[in-house]
Amino acid sequence: MLSDAQITSFWKNGFLALEAITTAGEIEAMRAIYDDLFEQGVGRDSEDRIDLASQEGREVLPQILRPSKYVPQLAETQLRANARAIAAQLLGEDTEFVADHAIRKPGGHGVETPWHQDEAYWDPALAFEALSIWVPLQEATLENGCMQFLPGIPEDVVPHHHIDEDPEVAGLVVDDWNVDAAVACPLPVGGATVHHCRTLHYTGANKTDTPRRAYILVFRRPPATRAEPRDFYWLDAA
């Protein structure tokens, strides 16, 4: 469970770094399942397997959406139960699990995930209070692409565009933002970061020769329809 100081810090800074959300043993078991999913090409027939940063066939930032749909035991982990409890502490008891996803940065050529807000990908007609719990399946370091955050929760989504200005590329980048105050969050095995859906965040390229595996769980309050519509024109360009 989070302390009051951690809850206050989350709402002030938009993120938390947790040394332990589950055991190293559970993470090791999940790592084998995770690597199997990527090696078997799971999701390729259903658009659950995408590359966030390339459309040219070479995978530089491969992602599997909803891996627990393919391996139900991922939903039975201590990690899932602890993540659910943390999300409910931060967002309230009516918090719901939205989805999990897996992003694997290959060793040697895994590119950066540029600065963005997660909510920039979502329906602009809805009002969100949501968070993501980012769990590395090995140590996370600056060299392999640990999470970095810009402290603070912007009141709304700021303008984004597609990576390389190419609407065929799935990934989004914030247009213009000062990220000098970025905070990097290296983590041990079993650790996690938690971030709000409007917190700006980034991971660097993987400069090591082994994959950087991240497993992400998204939770939210049931979203309401916004009174004021927003225009996420960058989503129309796809």
Task: Kindly list the residues in this chain that would bind Ni ion in the complex (CB under 5 A).
Answer: 118
Query: Closest distance between Ni ion and the C-beta of residue 79, in Å?
Result: 19
Rg (CA), the chain: 17
> How far is residue 100's CA from residue 95's CA, in Å, rounded to a whole number?
15
Q: Minimum distance from CB of 203 to Ni ion (Å)?
A: 9
Question: Nearer Cβ to Ni ion, position 49 or 196?
Answer: 196
Three-class secondary structure of residue 130 per DSSP: strand
Closest residue to Ni ion, based on beta-carbon distance? 118
Taking the least distance from each CB to Ni ion, the nearer of 68 and 132 is: 132
CB of 173 to Ni ion, least distance (A): 11
Alpha helices in the chain (DSSP H): 4-13, 24-39, 67-70, 78-91, 233-236
Q: Which is nearer to Ni ion, 59 or 118 (CB)?
A: 118
- Identify the H or E element spanning 132: strand 130-136
Around Cβ 201, how many Cβ atoms within 10 Å?
25
Residue 191 CB, nearest approach to Ni ion (Å): 18
- Residue 28 or 175: the one with the smaller Cβ distance to Ni ion is 175
